[in-house]
Every structure is written in C-alpha cells, then in structure tokens.
Amino acid sequence: MEKPKRKMAASSGGRARRRRSAYAAAEVEEMFRRFAVQRPEPKGELEHVNPFTLLVAVVLSAQATDAGVNKATRALFAAADTPEKMLALGEERVADYIRTIGLWRNKAKNVIALCRALIEEHGSAVPAERDLLTRLPGVGRKTANVVLNVAFGQPTMAVDTHIFRIGNRILLAPGRTPEEVEEGLLRVIPEHYLRHAHHWLILHGRYVCKARKPDCHACVIADICRSPEKTTDVPAPAVPIAPLDPAAVDAAQ
C-alpha cells in the first residue's frame, strides 16, 4: 500500500488549524450510499490467508504496489503462513521470496523481528488493539488500521496515498497530515458506513479519482463533488441534495 506524500499537505496551507469538510452531512451520507451501491462488499487487494499473513502483506506493501506484493507473497505464504513457520524460514530465505519488492532487505529483517515478537509476546496471535499492533516491529498506525479493519472488522480509517489525496482534493476532510485527514474522515463519515469507507475511498482513488487526472465523467459522486479539480461541467449543488434512485446509480456504472 502506497504511503501518502506529506508534502502535499504542506501546500494545503494553514497551521495546525482544523479545516472543515466542504459538505453537509446529507451530502456525505449520499456519497457513501452511492459507494455502497457501487461496491456492496468492497475488498482490499492484498492477498492473505489469515490475520498474520495480512499483517505481513501490509508491512511489505510500504512504498510498493499491492500487485507487486501479491506476486511475491503467493509463494512466501504457501511456504509460511504462521509466525513459527516464517521464523523457521529465516531472514535469508524470506529475503529471497520478497526480492522483487522495494526495501526488501529491511522488510525481511522486520518480518522476522515481527514473527519473534508475535510468538514471544502474543502467543503467535495478531493482537486486535492498535496500541499493541503499533509496538510491533515495522508496524505503524496505517498498517495497524488496515489490520484492525480487514482482519477484525473495526471501523478504522487507514489513510494511504489515495485517501490522503481524496480527502484534500474533494475537500471532504482536508488535512496537512495523514492523521489530520484520518481524524476529519472519522468525524464526517456516517458511522454506519465506516466499516467499509476505507476500501471505498481507496478503490475510488485508485480507479476513478486518480492522482494525475481524475476520471470525473465516470464518477458516481460527480454531481456532489466540490473539487476545484473536477473536470466535468456537472455543478455541485449549493444545498444538500435528495438521494438518487439506486437504479440510476447502477446504470451509471
């Protein structure tokens, strides 16, 4: 999973001042209702077979693409899908499996240290608490949020490069740092959509609201969006809009 670029935040101006979402609550509700119609069961793209392999995959995905990580982990996880098996493989063999991923030397070292910590401190289980996760080698807040959301169903918001861009670009939750965007999104997204919101936003950013040029004519929220970068001539409403007919949303796909 790619990391958000912090320099983007600096250009959004202002000091530690909290910036507001450009949307009324009814508009955010409608945005996420449409994402839910579009992808009722959104899934992450990192392949894994249990919480442990998910944790390893997310650690490996720092500054790498999910597709690149999957290529390497298919064979790695077939050989080792528990902390004990991974530790038994050893750093050199883990490194051999992940040699195609950036920063592989450090990552192999971290994976082995991670396995040792899981075995010694958590009975080989992946903990379901952020504080415990972030104390593990190579595990930061974003990684912990992905694991808590995907493996344990918690309504966390892991801000990657796509979510950071969307939060700022469409002014849904503007912020100078991933933490500010995370906090803003957790505040504005209705609770009943939080479980899947992280995946909806990543997939929206990866396939529609893309970094170089947003694909606004294919966007299901184009009529709500207030981004200055919007490339369609559909104006955003000045007042909260009425919900769309779900059939109309389907037809727009």
Q: Verify binding: residue 168, ligand SF4, rule CB under 6 A.
A: no
Separation CA 91–CA 111 (nearest Å): 8
Separation CA 119–CA 193 (nearest Å): 35
81 is catalytic: no
Q: Verify binding: residue 56, ligand SF4, rule CB under 6 A.
A: no
Residue tagged active-site, from 96, 142, 245, 250: 142
Q: Verify binding: residue 219, ligand SF4, rule CB under 6 A.
A: yes
Q: Verify binding: residue 201, ligand SF4, rule CB under 6 A.
A: no
From the list 13-21, 51-59, 127-135, 226-234, the region that binds ligand SF4 by CB under 6 A is: 226-234
SS3 category, 49: coil
Q: Verify binding: residue 225, ligand SF4, rule CB under 6 A.
A: yes
Identity of the residue, 169 or 176, whose beta carbon is nearer to ligand SF4 in the bound complex: 169
Contact 191, 155 (CB under 8 A): yes
Quickly list H helices, the chain. Answer: 6-10, 25-38, 51-60, 66-79, 83-89, 91-97, 104-122, 130-134, 141-150, 161-169, 178-188, 194-207, 246-251
223 is catalytic: no
From the list 85-93, 104-112, 156-164, 225-233, the region that binds ligand SF4 by CB under 6 A is: 225-233
Kindly state the smallest distance separating residue 91's Cβ from ligand SF4, in Å: 42
- Binding-site size, ligand SF4 (CB under 6 A): 14
Separation CA 33–CA 49 (nearest Å): 30
Structure tokens at 77: 């996880």
Identity of the residue, 70 or 232, whose beta carbon is nearer to ligand SF4 in the bound complex: 232
Q: 98 CB contacts (<8 Å, ≥6 apart)?
A: 60, 72, 73, 76, 104, 107, 108, 111
From the list 46-54, 98-106, 125-133, 208-216, the region that binds ligand SF4 by CB under 6 A is: 208-216
Task: Report the catalytic residues.
Answer: 142, 160
Residues that bind ligand SF4 (CB under 6 A): 169-170, 208-209, 214-216, 219, 221-222, 225, 227, 229-230
